[in-house]
Structure 1
């Protein structure tokens, strides 16, 4: 019986931490990953994995040495959070299904270590997510496709402490919107997002070509997730 593969990738949101090289069981997975960048997915067997994170600089300083447990058929984004020397990995699991037009799935992750619990406002003064603490990730909620300005406010206050640039949410897709940075410090508090999609798969054909497949959230409830084959 074939091994059931899982997929892992890394999001660097540790403020004032240099670019990093990431190793899994002493094999490099991501090199020179910069702040607020996300690596490609890597397929991996379901088991405990040793993750080591080194500074990309000449010092090659070891910043984190930890073990994560990867279960079968999981798709995990590990967010590198916290500030040195207390950085850690936060697993953010991908659990989405094809959704109907014209809906959008969206969730929120609070990855800013020095902010209070947050409410997230998309429209007017209505809180879409409430009381989200540091390192917490909400469930997905549906919202209509549109261009939004994401506003953050402390749960126990009315004052808006941050308003994002315009974020366009397209129908038929899922998004994780997250905070990063520091409130009242540098790098400054910010909001960004990534698409939640089924990972890339790579294999070699009999004539040594390489192909990859990508499944994304279906734009229609009447179709399966889209599969794209690319030869190169």
Structure 2
């Protein structure tokens, strides 16, 4: 009996084959500027409660595969988003509740899976402002993306680390809708999300939300 107990203890402490639990990572951004607070369910289990605009959740660890993601008006059974994305082993994702509440939709962004080269950062842009129209994205006065429509999730751009003046202009013009200064740390991936709306300028105006993609 003592020998059997020793064998069990050795196995429990890693004496056998190594087993790695492989997961996917998912976080949620509430970016619908006129929507109320929401609850988020994954496979009918509430994972986030009473989430206000423009909150970004931490990453949630999920098993790889297809999951049902529902977004309800907080405290109710009224579902405004119901999607079933497939999440890959080791993948990281940002699910965005976007557009005005009358036409709310889910955008799913696949986050970077590796660090950028030494001294550089990865930076992508998501246009999640429903009534801003197509835009140009400028960094330190230079156009880096042009005529970007609502709902766009750009690829990651690799740029040197540092401080950048970011402008979001009405496409093809010098009219700036959003201006922000961001400090980007080497070795990090970022998402710059254009959120808010002209319609909700008094409460949730156009703005740039910088996300760290871990």
Per the normalisation by structure 1, the TM-score is 0.76
Show the counterpart of 2:161. 145
Which structure 2 segments of 5+ residues have no match? 1-18
Count matched residues.
Answer: 194
Show the counterpart of 2:196. 181
CA offset at residue 130 of structure 1? 1.9
Show the counterpart of 2:187. 172
- Structure having the higher helix fraction is 2
Show the counterpart of 1:30. 48
Q: How many Å separate the matches in 1 of 2:83 and 2:113? A: 28
Deviations 1:76-98 (A, max 9, x none): 11011111132111101012422
CA offset at residue 47 of structure 1? 2.4
1:119 aligns with 2:143: no
Show the counterpart of 1:67. 84
| SS of corresponding position for 1:161 | strand
Q: How many Å separate the matches in 2 of 1:118 and 1:131? A: 5
Per the normalisation by structure 2, the TM-score is 0.82
Which structure 1 segments of 5+ residues have no match? 198-232
CA offset at residue 184 of structure 1? 5.1
Question: Which of 145, 164, 167 is the aligned partner of 1:129?
Answer: 145
CA offset at residue 150 of structure 1? 1.2
1:41 aligns with 2:59: yes
Q: Is the 8 A contact 2:66 2:84 kept in 1?
A: yes
CA RMSD, 1 decimal: 1.9
| SS of corresponding position for 2:85 | strand
CA offset at residue 23 of structure 1? 0.5
1:13-24 alignment runs, 5 A limit:
13-24=31-42
Question: Which of 162, 173, 176 is the aligned partner of 1:157?
Answer: 173
CA offset at residue 60 of structure 1? 5.1
| SS of corresponding position for 1:8 | strand
